[in-house]
Amino acid sequence: MELPRKILIGEGVISEVGSLISSLDGPASKVAVITGRMVKARAGGECSASLDKASLTSSWHVVSDASMDTVSKLQEKIAEKGLPDFVVGFGGGRSVDVAKMTAYRLGKPFLSVPTSASHDGISSPFVSVRGTDKPHSIKANAPIGVLADTHLMSQAPPRLLAGGCGDLVAKITAVKDWELARDEKGEYFGTYAANLAYMSAKIILDESQKLKRKSQFSIRTIVEALISAGVAACIAGSSRPCSGAEHLFSHAIEYVAGPNYGLHGERVGIGAIMMAKLHGLDWERIEETLQNVGAPTKARQIKLKEEHVVKALVAAQSLRPDRYTILSKIKMDKKSAEKLAKSTKVI
């Protein structure tokens, strides 16, 4: 199992990023920081000062998209200047994913410093970047450490926090799909990893009324749950405890409609409502939870057309036929997909 070695969560802990790196993996002198333009402008100074204080030389690289083309260019640019001892992903999901993949290809340890609690990639070994031959997340390496500054996260748009809740609620159907694959196909099932992922989802179900208020409690609860879910994937050695048919639905939305329809967590949350119905679970409680935290439950809320939802439901399983889910067992055609989406009020 490859797990994060140290996790630091708290208000203002960005000032400790330099000392955290120095404590992780022996002596370090050079760090490559991959970030976004807004994050660098808002908090780059604090991060840079902490690295300087720890006598770490840093090179900063601003990215605007999460694609393999961007990763390849970054890899070449960073290698030209001499390989760093660490790669730091400082920002939202895009920056963290690009940094994780770049570190993997450079063969260097990766530190995850998320500035929003929007998905479980902050602690998992999986990345979602465009331009690969696979229409789903691919495996890199888990971060060697995670630093989550709850003050910086509190400044992120509320929509990102709600999206993180959507990604967490999706673990309910992901675990159910994993159980289904165990029971019907004899697939390996990791009880501990499954329970850890499910627990991360259950706290969102139980606390959704409190989580709709953007407080330190809300942010810390959500980020701890996201980190736990990511660690579950590390323990399982696959994305199984965190990603099932609801994630295939999300990837299918990008396939049939394009990438500009909702955040990752918003799409998988909507997908989880429908997959819960197929599994015979309490889909209405999932819907209510998402509404409580301000996440969308209807396609039109992320500007999706009804036809996109139907096409995505029909196409989802074909994007990853090797992964057995409820959509492998209950085949979707246009009629049944439309019926499902309407019965759950998604369309």
Q: Give, in order, the Cα–Cα distances in Å from 34 to each of 88, 100, 128, 220.
A: 6, 9, 16, 24
Q: What is the pTM of this model?
A: 0.94
Between CA 68 and CA 98 the distance in angstroms is 8
Which of 3.30.930.10, 1.10.630.10, 1.20.1090.10, 2.40.50.140 is the CATH number of 158-343? 1.20.1090.10
| Pair of tokens at residue 44 | 């780059």
Interacting residues of 115 by C-beta distance below 8 A, sequence separation 6+: 39, 43, 90, 91, 92, 149, 152, 153, 155, 156
pLDDT in tens, 303-345: 999 999 999 999 999 999 999 999 999 999 999 999 999 999 9
For the domain bounded by 6-154, which CATH number is listed? Answer: 3.40.50.1970
Between CA 10 and CA 200 the distance in angstroms is 19
Low-confidence stretches of the chain (pLDDT < 50) are none
pLDDT in tens, 2-29: 899 999 999 999 999 999 999 997 778 9
**DSSP letters along 18-33, please?**
HHHHHHHSS---EEEE
Task: Give pLDDT, residue 213.
Answer: 73
Task: Give pLDDT, residue 135.
Answer: 64
Backbone phi, psi, residue 281, to 5°: -90, 175
Task: Give pLDDT, residue 259.
Answer: 84
| Pair of tokens at residue 149 | 């500054």
Sign (positive/negative) of CA torsion 173, 314, 130, 101? positive
Q: Domain limits of the chain?
A: 6-154, 158-343
Dump strand ranges (E) for 227-345: none
